[in-house]
Amino acid sequence: MTDIGLTHYLVLGAVLFVCGVLCMAIKRNGIGILMGVELVLNGANVNFVAFAQFSPTFQVEGQIFALFVIVLAAAEAAIALAIVLNFYNNHLTVDVDTAEELKG
């Protein structure tokens, strides 16, 4: 338990990323999948901000990328929810496995 270094933050980012990927993979609920995406983006954000704090050549960019990620994630969530609502209107469920009309 020495000083907290960049590695600690990167491992935390990895935990968030893996949880997000698993969440996307195992949830059948459209909104659950959306939550997984948010977790993945957060893992990436932790990395961005950590690099911004630890790397002199990335000081501003790291935070700015993180800001863009947050804003775009909000936009993505809005669109994804709209799609989920539309899906619900058509299928009366948000279980993504029922979207199989295009299956050959």
- Cβ–Cβ under 8 Å, residues 24 and 36: yes
Shortest Cβ distance from residue 24 to another protein (Å)? 10
Find the distance separating the first CA and the last CA of the chain, reported in whole Å. 56
Shortest Cβ distance from residue 103 to another protein (Å)? 17
- Cβ–Cβ under 8 Å, residues 36 and 22: yes
Shortest Cβ distance from residue 10 to another protein (Å)? 4
Classify 29 as helix, strand or coil.
strand
Q: Which is nearer to another protein, 56 or 104 (CB)?
A: 56
Q: Which is nearer to another protein, 4 or 104 (CB)?
A: 4
Radius of gyration for the alpha carbons in the chain, expressed in angstroms and rounded:
17
Q: Which is nearer to another protein, 1 or 104 (CB)?
A: 1
